[in-house]
Structure 1
Amino acid sequence: MKLYIAEKPSLARAIAAVLPGPQKREDGYIRCGNGDLVSWCIGHLLEQAEPESYDPAYKQWRYEHLPIVPDKWKLKPRPKVRGQLSALKKLTKDADQLVHAGDPDREGQLLVDEVIEYLGVPESKRRSMQRLLISDLNPSAVKRALERLKPNSEFVPLSVSALARSRADWLYGINLTRALTLQGRRVGFDGLLSVGRVQTPVLGLVVERDRAIEAFVSKPFFEVLAHLQTEDAQTFSAQWQPSEACARWQDDEGRVLSRDLAQNVASRITGREALVESATRKPGRQPPPLPYNLSALQIDASKAFGMSAQGVLDACQSLYEKHRLITYPRSDCRYLPKEHHAEATAVFNAIRQSAPTLAGAVAGSDSTIKGRAWNDAKVEAHHAIIPTAKSAREGTLSTSEAKVYELIARQYLMQFYQNWSYNDTELTFRIEGGVFIARARQTTDPGWRALLGKVADEAPELPLLSVGDRLLCERGEVVEKQTQPPKPFTDATLLAAMTGIARFVADPALRKVLRETDGLGTEATRAGIIELLVTRGYLSRQGKSIRSSAAGRGLIDALPAQVQKPDLTAHWESSLDAMARREGRYDQFMSALNDSLSELINQLGASTPESLRGIDAPRKRRFTKGKGGARKGASSAKSDGAAKRGSKAGAASRRRSTRAVSSKT
């Protein structure tokens, strides 16, 4: 008997549906007509044990206990899913062959592997275990996946890498949270101070941005335009390019801060001759943007509809599990396998029915186009998020589901349109010794940009000129502008900062690592991290803006710089990636982490967090878990109450806090 272990019941049902019938639902599994069984986890069936499971003394938070480092790690069943774990124990014992059907990512690999190990499955069964990788729940895709089972042993390094990150996050979160919380009590801060490898640098980004906004002083700067006229009376403008001699009147970004200088230039060029020094017209083209991964989708949905990152993830989970209209949504990949191109016509038909507003876009598509998105070398466990060949019945999608589906479908259709083609024109003039430049871009073929509804505004077309042509500068004009403060983060820009975190790192080597990895957090966790910080009262939403609270700022100021910054993630991701490629070792990674953790604990213990003095602990906020859930890899979002020291309620609250920070961020 073959036993398939899916990550969730929805995936189990999809697998069972394509196996020989009839199917019969039993207690915790589905029996198929050929005798094979399909069971499931419900997200993580197991969770890291709390510190007091290793030593009852850890129930009380004391600095002398830190750092808490388990000699032998313990997992415990999540209370609400013990029954399913018991069912799997019996099923794995009876099965002749096991098939791992966790989600196609690092956490999905660990999720089932840890259950197999916890249940004590014999080594012989574990060696013969197979891996089923499914990213589309529709029957045809599931059948194809079943024909391509791989040995689960090929994915052991991926599981070890996920395990290392899980344990490292527990160590980091538990120890630094306890250390800072205990120090906070010394200055009267009576609440939990949660620290995490990912959540804390994200909070640090917002705090730094808010302070830059508050400290910003707007200054005027000046640009000079030359209004030019050709011999046949065509008019246009060119902008002055200050020379090195003007540097002392410019800021770091090259803006001219002297009104007198700008007015002098404008006066000097008025009525004078303009000589063309260079004239170029270059054709250009731009391929369609790649299909979405989760972060790119969340960013665009936030910009287009003001949706939160969590709201987009919830809609995606529903489109994937309930409606089966899109492929696996927690993907970090933006490419597609070449073989998927053959399904384009079926997907077009599904889009036409599921999103009638895109019927015209479907009609204008060319299924023979096969661009850069189809690249097998770029596809690993999962591919980009795209529509499936399944159609939605009219009226079955919620407003948010329909909006997200339309974005995904439009991005997919763009792959079947020609490149956007244009001409870039640049004219350089010399007027009274000064250099002036005019630039313009004109579209020659909108290609995929036609799907955006309109081509972006373009500058008026420039006249055809040649080097040596002479024009009249009718007048010079001084344009006064004001420097603008940085904008507050929104869901879209904060997600963009998390995915592009490399630009916030000074060390070139670390920047390179972060550019080549997931950035800060993963596709599966970023939305949960933002919501977690809001729930804990460190961040707040003000309209679309995300701002830091007094408690959030105090927390950041109380921490060493290396905890506030994203550099640690780069170090970890480099080691974890090497581990996943069989080039790094688990024990070396954990040993280095334990050494650095001890140093941080000592550093925190030697300082008094004055930044928290006089600040009230944030009030508890209710966290509403969406359909996507706070599952694998996502941060726990339990409220962390401000406990009264010494009281029974306070002790209970602090125990809850301990559990909350033992999450993966």
Structure 2
Amino acid sequence: MIVTWAFGHLLGLKMPEEIDKNWQTWQMETLPMIPKQIGIKPLPKTGQQLKAIKQLAHRKDVKEFVIATDAGREGELVARWILEWIHFNKPVKRLWISSQTNKAIKEGFKHLKPATQYDALYESALARSKADWLVGLNISRALTVKYEDSLNAGRVQTPTLSFVRQQEKQMDKFRPQTYYRIELEIEGQKALRVQNNPYEIKDQQEAQNLIEQMKQHSGTVVELSEKTKTENAPLPYDLTEIQRTANQRYNFSAKKTLSLVQSLYETHKVVTYPRTDSKYLTNDMKKTMKERLQAVANFAPEVKEYIKAGATVKQKAVFNDVKVTDHSGLIPTEQRASPAKFSNDEQKIYNMIVSRFLTLFANPHKKLQQKATVAFANERFVFTQNKVIEPGWKPSEDTSETTVQWQKGQKVRPNFSIKKELTKPPKPLNESTLLEKMEKFDLGTPATRAEIIEKLIRSELMERTPNGLQVSPKGKQLLDLVNPSLVTPDLTKKWEDELEAIAQGKFSSNKFLKQIEQDTKQLINEVKQSQKKYQDFSLTQKECPKCGSFLREKNTRDGKIYVCSNSECHYHRRKDPKVSNHRCPQCHKKMEIIEGKNGAYFRCKFDGITEKIPNKKDQKKKMSKQEEKRLLKQYSKPEEPEEGPLSIALKEAMNKED
């Protein structure tokens, strides 16, 4: 076998200017751009790897090609584009696995399938890619040309941005209101008055009057019910749920969580395929449960008990072939983990996956729930108390006995109090709640949702704040300028349903793309006819020293910069000086790099000290503190002390005494 690799996509669809010379200049007259054939091209820095794959694939001793990329829609596209680019015309097979342990890989190679079985999946991926090209590039170019600013729109990212904005509008409309609720206390237990609308009592006197009315009647337990409630363990995580939970628990971004799970899958090989949208397991995985438990035997004391009991899964509903799409839920593999090799963050995610997995082997959580309804004439108060019968998969829950012995017909002494409450404002969306909405409305896939959020932030349409996600002034305007059909998730849902039908061989990709072309023409026509105005909030009053146009403020990974608003001018500079790792000799704080007339130099903003930036030769001569510490450590290792005559004599004397 010859093994080689792709690192994500090596190829992508050609850009408009590479297809037609008329599309090199951004102008409204050439829109919409609908090429007969888009074609593919190597992505930057991938040429050498493509060349290597081509040379290997065309070796005379190579008889077939095995696609072993991610087992999913996008993984199929990665491989098929490579095969197309290198003009491979020998048999092609497909390795389809959900974990990367040696056992899973060997088993997968025993059951290789003809790649033609996955042609429909490739057609679906290709159709999605072309559709995003047609809508995304055309709309973004139309908006950018019309409003003279970089405005990116798309059928997934725009409705995602709209969700955040809708929540902000609800927050803006919110006005806090005071309301009152009546509480009854009996033997230390409390219950609120039952009412259809909890906010109905707006006045404290009204609440007091109601209490006086109730006091005229004796309180009676009019209804008593007992019910055993059984709660089964939760199903394994899918990618979106673990991203949401990690965001709530550790404030991890969706992108960071995906990266950590991917590392556990690819590098450590201790979890199954991460980019899954299913929480279920296939029936043929039942026979692997004992091995998976043995792999996590040291994780918790109860694991050994589960193994002794035959590794029996108590949450039977988890095995459901129909509900497993390309991949099963996220669970540990049969490979034992080496926690010492994990980073702290990898350990947190691994603990989440294993803990959820282990609950499948625990008994259901059972509790006896007793409800007592106390009536004062027509007013009702319902007291609820629980007694845990079997903790099951929730061992930490309180198992104390109930505290009130209720009896039907029992008389109750009125002990009322008034609770003053204030209506709570809606919270801004964070990544967890945004992912939940994206999943509900089929925006993106588990594999792409994290990147969609990152793209909105990179393009300055949305911002992360300590309180949650926030739409920027630019993003607010974009939502007003863009076509209404792109703001709602309806178009994307329609697309995803049709793309899934293509993947299952039930719908034609050609028919799908013809419809996308029609939609694109309609969308561009709407932009051209729009009379809406745009205000560029990033435009400053600072003039470009080269052409005199105003400078625009822009966020980059390296901080804020000023760029010229004139598309023909390429002037740019930093807004704030760059902070270096070079320390001030006086206060020892990091110094800034200042661009002066005679070149760059270091300056301390705290005490004004300046220093020349050494050239490369000087830098080589001067040893850094890290190098200094490393050399000191290397040459300061204590040598073994030589034994003197006295030491030798003492040892001999001690030995004789023994």
TM-score, normalised via structure 2 length: 0.79
Any idea what the Cα deviations from partners look like across 1:333-358, whole Å, max 9, x if unmatched? 211223333333332333245xxxx3
> Could you tell me which residue of structure 1 aligns to residue 122 of structure 2?
159
Question: Equivalents in 2 of 1:47, 1:462: separation in Å?
Answer: 69
Question: Equivalents in 2 of 1:457, 1:305: separation in Å?
Answer: 29
Any idea what the Cα deviations from partners look like across 1:269-314, whole Å, max 9, x if unmatched? 1363223333221111111111111111111111111111111111
Choose the corresponding residue for 1:196, options 147, 154, 166. Answer: 154
Question: Equivalents in 2 of 1:290, 1:544: separation in Å?
Answer: 30
Matched, 1:546 2:458: no
Other structure's SS at 1:79 match: coil
Q: CA deviation at 1:379?
A: 2.4
> Could you tell me which residue of structure 1 aligns to residue 194 of structure 2?
241
Choose the corresponding residue for 2:290, options 335, 345, 349. Answer: 345
Other structure's SS at 1:438 match: strand
Matched, 1:496 2:436: yes
Other structure's SS at 1:64 match: helix
Opposite residue 238 of structure 1, the aligned amino acid is A
Matched, 1:327 2:250: no
Any idea what the Cα deviations from partners look like across 1:69-121, whole Å, max 9, x if unmatched? 11112100123122222233344344322222221111112221222233333
Other structure's SS at 1:115 match: helix
The 3 A distance-change label for structure 1 pair 488 and 461 is farther
Question: Equivalents in 1 of 2:305, 2:206: separation in Å?
Answer: 54
More RCO (CA 8 Å, sep 6+): 1
Q: CA deviation at 1:607?
A: 1.9
The 3 A distance-change label for structure 1 pair 196 and 96 is same
The 3 A distance-change label for structure 1 pair 314 and 613 is closer
Contact 2:244 2:433 in 1 (8 A): yes
Contact 2:132 2:155 in 1 (8 A): yes
The 3 A distance-change label for structure 1 pair 299 and 195 is same
Matched, 1:621 2:556: yes
Choose the corresponding residue for 1:644, options 549, 565, 569. Answer: 565
The 3 A distance-change label for structure 1 pair 539 and 462 is farther
Contact 1:276 1:427 in 2 (8 A): yes
Any idea what the Cα deviations from partners look like across 1:551-591, whole Å, max 9, x if unmatched? 11111122232211111111101111111122211122112
- The equivalences for 1:456-471 within 5 A come to 463-466=405-408, 469-471=409-411
Opposite residue 647 of structure 1, the aligned amino acid is E
> Could you tell me which residue of structure 1 aligns to residue 166 of structure 2?
208
> Could you tell me which residue of structure 1 aligns to residue 303 of structure 2?
362
Other structure's SS at 1:73 match: coil
Opposite residue 222 of structure 1, the aligned amino acid is Y
Question: Equivalents in 2 of 1:379, 1:201: separation in Å?
Answer: 28
Other structure's SS at 1:310 match: helix
Contact 2:153 2:482 in 1 (8 A): no
- The equivalences for 1:517-532 within 5 A come to 519-532=442-455
Question: Equivalents in 1 of 2:107, 2:553: separation in Å?
Answer: 51
Q: CA deviation at 1:173?
A: 1.0
Q: CA deviation at 1:407?
A: 0.6
Contact 1:288 1:414 in 2 (8 A): yes
Q: CA deviation at 1:457?
A: 11
Q: CA deviation at 1:611?
A: 5.0
> Could you tell me which residue of structure 2 aligns to residue 3 of structure 1?
none
Moved more, 373-382 or 474-483: 373-382
Q: CA deviation at 1:614?
A: 4.6
Contact 1:291 1:386 in 2 (8 A): yes
Other structure's SS at 2:46 match: helix
Question: Equivalents in 1 of 2:500, 2:526: separation in Å?
Answer: 29
Opposite residue 64 of structure 2, the aligned amino acid is Q
The 3 A distance-change label for structure 1 pair 130 and 256 is farther
Question: Equivalents in 2 of 1:196, 1:482: separation in Å?
Answer: 40
Question: Equivalents in 2 of 1:534, 1:439: separation in Å?
Answer: 46
Higher Cα Rg: structure 1 or 2? 2
Q: CA deviation at 1:160?
A: 0.7
Choose the corresponding residue for 1:309, options 249, 254, 269. Answer: 254
Question: Equivalents in 2 of 1:604, 1:56: separation in Å?
Answer: 23
Contact 1:317 1:329 in 2 (8 A): yes
The 3 A distance-change label for structure 1 pair 66 and 255 is farther
Contact 2:473 2:537 in 1 (8 A): no
TM-score, normalised via structure 1 length: 0.78
The 3 A distance-change label for structure 1 pair 220 and 459 is farther
Other structure's SS at 1:145 match: helix
Moved more, 539-548 or 197-206: 539-548
Contact 1:277 1:429 in 2 (8 A): yes
Opposite residue 581 of structure 1, the aligned amino acid is Q
Question: Equivalents in 1 of 2:221, 2:193: separation in Å?
Answer: 14
Question: Equivalents in 1 of 2:571, 2:486: separation in Å?
Answer: 27
Question: Equivalents in 1 of 2:420, 2:226: separation in Å?
Answer: 30
Q: CA deviation at 1:641?
A: 9.3
Opposite residue 114 of structure 1, the aligned amino acid is W
Percentage of matched positions with identical amino acids: 29
> Could you tell me which residue of structure 1 aligns to residue 456 of structure 2?
533
> Could you tell me which residue of structure 2 aligns to residue 277 of structure 1?
222
Opposite residue 368 of structure 1, the aligned amino acid is T
The 3 A distance-change label for structure 1 pair 490 and 361 is farther
Q: Unpaired segments of 5 or more residues in structure 1? A: 1-35, 186-190, 229-233, 244-249, 502-518, 625-638, 652-665
Any idea what the Cα deviations from partners look like across 1:480-531, whole Å, max 9, x if unmatched? 2111111112222221221123xxxxxxxxxxxxxxxxx2111111111111
> Could you tell me which residue of structure 2 aligns to residue 231 of structure 1?
none
> Could you tell me which residue of structure 1 aligns to residue 640 of structure 2?
none
Choose the corresponding residue for 1:593, options 486, 492, 516. Answer: 516
Question: Equivalents in 2 of 1:533, 1:64: separation in Å?
Answer: 28
Opposite residue 388 of structure 2, the aligned amino acid is T
**Number of residue pairs matched by the alignment:** 554
